[in-house]
Amino acid sequence: MLAGAPIGQVGDVSPRLREALASADVVAAEDTRRLRRLATELGVEIGGRIVSYYDANEAGRAKELLESLREGRTVVVITDAGMPGVSDPGYRLTHLAVEAGITVTALPGPSAVTTALAVSGLPSDRFCFEGFPPRKAGERARRLAALAAEERTMVFFEAPHRLRDSLAAMAEAFGPDRPAAVCRELTKTYEEVRRGGLAELAEWAAAGVKGEITVVVAGHVAGETEPDVAALVAEVERRVAAGEQRKAAVAEVAKGSGMPKRELYDAVHRRSPTP
């Protein structure tokens, strides 16, 4: 069973989570100390075996947990906050269990993705979750360039100390005025939702931001100002400097930005003519 954990308020926990924790044969937790703290706050005594299940040991531990499932034991997977498998451990065990024909169920719970989307004030009829942007500047720029023409509202996670750089990169890839919302400490005491254009939000974040961060960005609207051509040219040049063929780099960047490939190639050629 994949069990959703509260993202802030313990009161958001459902009675089913209490029952699941008390009755499971094995509880696999992203952080066993946080699990025990949660159980204490809920007044629940965990009778089954508690094991750690986090990024570093997920691959090996998933195989162990699969054996427990094959033996008929009930296994509950719980993360620090939110739903397992959504930028948290859970996918590998789920995949193995499905392949083995073992029933997988979910105990729904709070999710920072849908909570942030709901309070952002941005269109929520169609959206996509993009997880954490790449940490390295070049990889991040390439990923965002590929999303420049995405029409659905986009939801990202980000670490506080990287927030400013990521927002600045988004402003470069999507346009400085693209509407967005930075959701901080959702459901907690110091919850804050900051809304505005990406460039404005990047400037705000430069002073430093703390807490758990979810960023919601409006999708591309047909006819809106296209991403800065200079930024797209710079992205092509980064790819070429990394060893990619110019033609291939132009094709990839153009595809992600919505700019015609011929126009982008001409812009690149004007700046860096082929010898």
Q: Which residue has the higher pLDDT, 223 or 162?
A: 162
Residue 63's contacts (CB-CB under 8 Å, 6 or more residues apart) are 96
Of the pLDDT bands very low, low, confident and very high (cuts 50, 70, 90), residue 134 is very high
112-217 is a CATH 3.30.950.10 domain: yes
Sequence length of the chain is 275
Specify the pLDDT at position 226: 55
Question: Cα separations (Å) of 4 from 20, 83, 146, 172, 185?
Answer: 11, 4, 31, 35, 17
Q: Please, what CATH class does the domain formed by 2-107 belong to?
A: alpha beta
Lowest mean per-residue pLDDT among 7-21, 73-87, 198-212, 260-274? 260-274
Q: How far apart are the C-alpha atoms of 154 and 235, rounded to whole Å? A: 21
Mean pLDDT, residues 56-72 taken together: 93
> Whole-model pTM above 0.75?
yes
CATH 3.30.950.10 residue spans of the chain = 112-217
20-42 confidence digits (pLDDT tens): 999 999 999 999 999 999 999 99
Q: Name which of 201, 227, 94 is nearest 148 in CA terms.
A: 227
CATH 3.40.1010.10 residue spans of the chain = 2-107
192-197/153-158 β-pairing:
unpaired
Specify the pLDDT at position 121: 95
Of the pLDDT bands very low, low, confident and very high (cuts 50, 70, 90), residue 109 is confident
Specify the pLDDT at position 45: 95
Specify the pLDDT at position 225: 54
Specify the pLDDT at position 161: 96
Query: Torsion angle, CA of 23/25/30/33, rounded to 10 degrees?
Result: 70
Burial call 143-181: b when 16+ CB within 10 Å, e when fewer: ebbbbbbbebbbbbbbeeebbbbbbbbbbbbbbbebbbb
Contact 253, 205 (CB under 8 A): no
Of the pLDDT bands very low, low, confident and very high (cuts 50, 70, 90), residue 235 is confident
Of the pLDDT bands very low, low, confident and very high (cuts 50, 70, 90), residue 229 is confident
Q: Which residue has the higher pLDDT, 41 or 225?
A: 41
157-200 confidence digits (pLDDT tens): 999 999 999 999 999 899 999 999 999 999 999 999 999 999 99
Q: What is the mean pLDDT of the chain?
A: 91
Specify the pLDDT at position 272: 67
Q: How far apart are the C-alpha atoms of 153 and 130, rounded to whole Å? A: 10
Specify the pLDDT at position 97: 95
User: Which element (helix H / strand E) includes 163?
Assistant: helix 163-174
Specify the pLDDT at position 178: 93
